[in-house]
Chains A and B, each alone.
Chain A
Amino acid sequence: AQKVTQAQTEISVVEKEDVTLDCVYETRDTTYYLFWYKQPPSGELVFLIRRNSFDEQNEISGRYSWNFQKSTSSFNFTITASQVVDSAVYFCALIAGNNRKLIWGLGTSLAVNP
């Protein structure tokens, strides 16, 4: 079975704090792709990152960083020095094997307070 679990339903932080959003995935396929999307209050889904199963290198993009660990089936997302504009729901998602559909976690709602 393929599944994505985001155990944190809601997180609230104060501006400038670092915050990590957890994502655990399940798949028996050796080839798979992991994604993070952001859904701000306006409702659109914004692509953040795509990672394939053969590339465990961590990635940093500005204040965003991602930690992919196959040993623990996790693909965690860290925001450094959070800002109010980071307030959104963040989704982790998986495409595995011959599937073309995104399998979604339930999302983590992040509130960054001034």
Chain B
Amino acid sequence: DSGVTQTPKHLITATGQRVTLRCSPRSGDLSVYWYQQSLDQGLQFLIQYYNGEERAKGNILERFSAQQFPDLHSELNLSSLELGDSALYFCASSVEGHDTQYFGPGTRLTVL
């Protein structure tokens, strides 16, 4: 158990809908990262937050947004969902910067 929690574990929804994925980092970790794992693109970095502020942005679509709250948990919002958004979404946390990122169990999103 990495200490990073993610909910829900599975999510099935329809095209055009909006969903929210939630992540709680390990105790003491200030950085939260979101990654998407799909069959065709592999693991891709989406976005990083550090202590409530956005720090880095990767291949995140405009339909996606994220935030980190004062209690350091983070949410990833996916809207206007398309079939191609079906993937495994991971949250990771670290103390800072180059430290090891520990991953949550992931949320498997299926868009029908």
Contact = CB atoms under 8 A, between A and B. Distances in A.
Interface of A is mostly: strand
Interface in B74-90: 88, 90
B68 interface: no
B55 A100 contact: yes
Given A100-B98, A101-B33, A102-B35, A47 B55 contact: no
Contact of B98 (A44, A47, A95): A95
Contacts of A103: 45
Contacts of A47: 2, 100-103
Nearest to B45: A101
A64 interface: no
Contact of B42 (A37, A44, A50, A104): A104
A102 B45 contact: yes
A13 to B, nearest CB: 23
Interface of B: 2, 31, 33, 35, 42-45, 48, 55-56, 58, 88, 90, 92, 97-98, 100-106, 108
20 contacts: A35-B100, A44-B105, A44-B106, A45-B90, A45-B92, A47-B2, A47-B100, A47-B102, A52-B98, A91-B43, A93-B43, A100-B33, A100-B48, A100-B55, A100-B56, A101-B45, A101-B56, A104-B44, A106-B42, A107-B42
